C-alpha cells in the first residue's frame, strides 16, 4: 500500500522559491572582484536567477547540458547555482587554481556549452578558449561596459547585458528529482580528474543534513560566510542550505587573506564561517599579530583536511568560538561527519574533550560508515584498530561521470581512500589517506599525528609528514616544516618535542626545514609534490 501524501520532487528551484517567499529581505552581501561591496536580498537573487534561466533558453543550452563556472564566491555565482540547475541544466564549477591545461581538459571532458568567468580569470580564458571548441559562449561576470574590446575571444558577452531586460517570471520545470544538477571534478591527485554528478535530490537532502543542529546548526538568525570556495564541492553545500533556512549570506570574493576575512566577519556580523585549515591559520595569525577579537562570530566549520588540535584549542580557549570539525570529500557532496559532542561528554575534563573534538565526528543522518580490514571485513567499533573508511547514503557517489574508472563501489559502499578509526560511540577519526600512510616495520604510522604534534610547537607554522624509503623498516617518517617568521627551532629541539607524545619508533627520523610546503588547488598540502621536491633526500644514517 502506498502512502497518501503529496509527491513533491526535491528540487533546487524550490529552495530559491522558498527563500524569496519567506525570507525576501534576507541579505546577501558580496565582496566583488571589482573591489567594492555588493548588497541585495534573496528576492533579488531569485528574480535574477529566473532572468538567467531565460538567458540560457535564448542561447539554447538544452536540458542536462553543462554550464561551466570559473568564479569566486559571489552573488552572480549564486544566481548561476539556481538559474542553471533550477532550469534543468547542470552547473559545472571549475577550480581556477588548476593549471590552464587541466582546466581546458575538464571543460572538454564535461562538454560545457557555456563558460561563465570572473574577470580575474580572463587571462586563463584567453589562454584556453581556442582549445575548447564545444564552448559556444564565454560569459564574463561583469557589466557590459567592463567587457574588454580586444580580448581575442569570439562569442564573449557580459553577464549583465546577457540577462538584462529578460522577463522576471519563469516557470521552473517540474523535474524528476534524480535529474543531474551539478558537477564537480576531484582534484585528480592521481591520474586524470573524475567528476561527481550531483542530483537535485542529493543536493536538497544534503542541505537538510548540514543545517541540522548537530551539523552546522544553521538558522534564519545566522549570517553565514562560506570561505570555502563555491568551486570546491559547492562551498560544502552552504549556498543551498542558506536558502533553505533563509539566513544572511556573506561572500568573500577573491580576498581570502587573514585581514580581509577578519574585516568581513566583523563588518557583516558573521556568526558561522566555513573553511579549510590553511584559511583559518591565516586568520588566526593576523588576529594574534594585531591583538584582535571577534564580535558576533559563534562557530567555525573546519574541514577538507585535519584541523590541528592547536587550532581547535586557540579558537575555543582564546576566542570562545565553537569549532565544528567536519569530514567529507567531493564524492560525498561533501558532508559525511561532523564532530559535535554528546551529553555524556560534556562532563569530561578539557583534555579528554579536546581528544574527541580532534576527531572528524559522527555520521549525520543519511550517512552510514564502516571501516574494513585489507580483506574487506568490517572492523568492530571501539577496538582502536584503523581500517579503510567506507561510506554509503543518498548523497554519496554511485558512479563517476561517463562511468570513468569503472564501478567504484564495493558491495554498495564507497571506499573513500581514507584510513580511520571508529570509537565505541561512532566517532570517526581519520588517521591518514591510504596513499599517505607510513608503513614502518609492518606497523602503520599516522602522518596526521606526527603533523599535529609539530603544529603544536610554538615556532612551527606548517608541517607535513611523509614516509621515506628505508632498507630495514620499509619506510621511516620525516617531517617537513615551515618555521613562523621571527621564530627559531632546531632539528634536535623539534625531535625532542615528540618525547612522551608518541612512541619512540613513531618519532620522525628527521626534520626538513622549508620555506613553504606545496599546496594543491584546494589549499591542502600536496604531498605528491613534496615527495617530488624531496626526491634526492637521504635519511640520516
467 with 494: CB under 8 angstroms? no
Examine residue 237 and tell whether it contacts ligand ADP (CB under 6 A): no
224 with 238: CB under 8 angstroms? yes
- In the region spanning residues 378 to 417, those forming contacts with ligand ADP, defined by CB under 6 A, are 416-417
Distance CA 397, CA 414 (A): 7
Q: Is 186 a catalytic residue?
A: yes
Residue 465 Cβ, how far from ligand ADP at the closest point, in Å? 13
- In the region spanning residues 73 to 132, those forming contacts with ligand ADP, defined by CB under 6 A, are none
The residue (of 201 and 325) whose beta carbon lies closer to ligand ADP is 325
Binding region for ligand ADP (CB under 6 A) out of 173-181, 298-306, 379-387, 485-493: 298-306
Out of 259, 444, 528, 529, pick the active-site residue.
Answer: 444
Beta strands in 97-199 (DSSP E): 114-117, 137-140, 156-158, 180-185, 195-199
Examine residue 47 and tell whether it contacts ligand ADP (CB under 6 A): no
Three-class secondary structure assignment of 512-533: EECCCCCECCCCCECHHHHHHH
Reference 15, options 87, 73, 82; nearest CA is 82
Out of 93, 179, 186, 421, pick the active-site residue.
Answer: 186
Q: Is 444 a catalytic residue?
A: yes
Out of 130, 402, 439, 501, pick the active-site residue.
Answer: 439
Among 45, 119, 205, 305, binds ligand ADP (CB under 6 A): 305
The residue behind cell 628505508 is 470
Write each residue from 266 to 285 as x if it is in contact with ligand ADP (CB under 6 A), else as -, in one continuous string. --------------------
Examine residue 308 and tell whether it contacts ligand ADP (CB under 6 A): no
Examine residue 330 and tell whether it contacts ligand ADP (CB under 6 A): yes
Examine residue 355 and tell whether it contacts ligand ADP (CB under 6 A): no
The residue (of 62 and 410) whose beta carbon lies closer to ligand ADP is 410
Considering CB under 6 A, how many residues would be counted as binding ligand ADP?
A: 21
Residue 405 Cβ, how far from ligand ADP at the closest point, in Å? 14
| DSSP letters spanning 207-240 | HHHHHSTTTT---TT-EEEE-S-TTTTGGGGHHH
Q: Count CB neighbours of 417 within 10 A.
A: 16
Residue 313 Cβ, how far from ligand ADP at the closest point, in Å? 16
Q: Is 101 a catalytic residue?
A: no
Among 239, 303, 366, 508, binds ligand ADP (CB under 6 A): 303
Q: Is 236 a catalytic residue?
A: no
Distance CA 16, CA 2 (A): 30
Out of 331, 332, 431, 473, pick the active-site residue.
Answer: 331
Residue 448 Cβ, how far from ligand ADP at the closest point, in Å? 7
Write each residue from 156 to 195 as x if it is in contact with ligand ADP (CB under 6 A), else as -, in one continuous string. ------------------------------xx-x------
Examine residue 234 and tell whether it contacts ligand ADP (CB under 6 A): no
Which 8-state DSSP code applies to residue 462? E
Reference 209, options 66, 328, 80, 295; nearest CA is 328
Examine residue 299 and tell whether it contacts ligand ADP (CB under 6 A): no
468 with 509: CB under 8 angstroms? yes
Distance CA 84, CA 12 (A): 10
Residue 311 Cβ, how far from ligand ADP at the closest point, in Å? 12
Secondary structure (3-state) at 14 = helix
The torsion angles phi and psi of 52, rounded to 5 degrees, stand at -65, -40
Which 8-state DSSP code applies to residue 536? T
In 150-225, which ranges are continuous DSSP H helix? 159-163, 200-211
- In the region spanning residues 425 to 444, those forming contacts with ligand ADP, defined by CB under 6 A, are 430, 433
Q: Count CB neighbours of 44 within 10 A.
A: 17
Q: Which residues are catalytic?
A: 186, 331, 439, 444
Footprint of ligand ADP on this chain (CB under 6 A)? 186-187, 189, 303-306, 325-330, 360, 416-418, 430, 433, 522, 524
Amino acid at each position: 500500500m502506498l502512502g497518501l501524501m503529496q509527491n513533491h520532487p526535491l528540487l533546487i528551484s524550490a529552495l530559491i522559491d522558498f527563500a524569496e517567499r519567506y525570507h525576501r529581505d534576507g541579505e546577501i552581501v558580496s565582496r566583488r572582484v571589482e573591489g567594492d561591496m555588493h548588497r541585495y536580498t534573496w528576492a533579488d537573487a531569485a528574480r535574477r536567477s529566473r532572468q538567467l534561466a531565460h538567458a540560457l533558453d535564448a542561447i539554447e543550452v538544452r536540458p542536462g547540458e553543462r554550464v561551466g563556472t570559473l568564479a569566486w564566491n559571489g552573488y552572480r555565482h549564486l544566481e548561476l547555482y539556481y538559474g542553471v540547475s533550477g532550469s534543468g541544466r547542470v552547473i559545472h564549477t571549475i577550480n581556477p587554481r588548476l593549471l590552464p591545461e587541466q582546466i581546458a581538459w575538464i571543460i572538454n571532458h564535461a562538454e560545457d556549452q557555456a563558460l561563465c568567468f570572473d574577470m580575474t580569470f580572463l587571462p586563463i580564458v584567453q589562454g584556453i578558449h581556442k582549445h575548447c571548441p564545444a564552448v559556444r559562449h564565454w560569459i564574463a561576470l561583469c557589466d557590459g561596459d567592463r567587457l574588454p574590446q580586444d580580448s581575442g575571444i569570439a562569442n564573449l558577452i557580459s553577464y549583465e547585458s546577457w540577462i538584462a531586460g529578460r522577463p522576471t517570471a519563469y516557470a521552473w520545470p517540474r523535474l524528476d528529482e534524480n535529474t543531474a544538477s551539478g558537477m564537480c571534478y576531484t582534484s585528480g591527485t592521481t591520474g586524470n580528474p573524475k567528476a561527481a554528478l550531483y542530483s537535485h535530490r542529493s543536493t536538497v537532502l544534503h542541505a537538510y543534513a548540514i543545517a541540522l543542529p548537530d551539523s552546522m546548526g544553521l538558522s534564519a538568525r545566522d549570517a553565514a560566510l562560506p570561505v570555502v570556495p563555491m568551486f570546491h564541492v559547492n562551498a560544502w553545500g552552504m549556498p543551498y542550505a542558506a536558502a533553505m533556512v533563509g539566513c544572511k549570506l556573506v561572500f568573500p570574493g577573491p580576498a581570502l587573506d587573514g585581514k580581509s576575512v577578519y574585516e568581513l566577519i566583523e563588518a557583516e556580523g558573521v556568526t558561522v564561517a566555513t573553511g579549510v585549515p590553511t584559511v583559518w591559520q591565516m586568520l588566526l595569525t593576523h588576529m594574534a599579530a594585531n591583538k584582535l577579537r571577534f564580535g558576533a562570530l559563534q562557530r567555525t566549520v573546519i574541514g577538507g583536511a585535519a584541523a590541528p588540535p592547536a587550532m581547535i584549542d586557540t579558537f575555543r580557549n582564546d576566542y570562545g568560538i565553537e569549532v565544528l570539525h567536519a569530514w567529507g570529500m567531493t564524492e560525498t557532496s561533501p558532508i559525511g561527519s561532523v564532530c559535535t559532542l554528546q551529553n555524556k561528554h560534556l562532563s569530561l575534563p578539557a583534555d579528554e574533550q579536546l581528544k574527541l573534538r580532534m576527531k572528524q565526528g559522527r555520521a549525520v543522518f543519511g550517512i552510514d560508515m564502516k571501516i574494513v580490514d585489507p580483506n574487506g571485513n568490517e572492523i568492530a567499533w571501539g577496538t582502536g584498530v584503523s581500517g579503510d573508511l567506507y561510506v554509503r547514503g543518498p548523497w554519496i557517489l554511485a558512479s563517476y561521470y561517463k562511468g570513468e574508472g569503472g564501478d567504484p563501489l564495493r558491495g554498495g559502499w564507497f571506499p573513500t581512500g581514507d584510513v580511520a578509526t571508529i570509537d565505541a560511540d561512532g566517532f570517526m577519526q581519520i588517521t591518514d589517506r591510504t596513499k599517505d600512510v607510513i608503513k614502518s616495520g609492518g606497523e602503520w604510522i599516522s602522518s596526521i599525528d606526527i603533523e599535529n604534534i609539530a603544529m603544536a610547537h610554538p615556532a612551527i607554522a606548517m608541517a607535513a609528514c611523509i614516509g621515506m624509503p628505508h632498507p630495514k623498516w620499509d619506510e621511516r617518517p620525516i617531517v617537513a616544516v615551515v618555521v613562523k617568521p621571527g621564530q627559531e627551532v632546531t632539528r634536535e629541539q623539534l625531535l625532542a618535542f615528540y618525547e612522551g607524545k608518541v612512541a619512540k619508533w613513531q618519532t620522525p627520523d628527521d626534520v626538513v626545514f622549508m620555506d613553504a610546503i606545496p599546496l594543491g588547488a584546494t589549499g591542502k598540502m600536496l604531498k605528491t609534490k613534496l615527495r617530488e621536491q624531496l626526491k634526492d633526500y637521504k635519511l640520516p644514517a
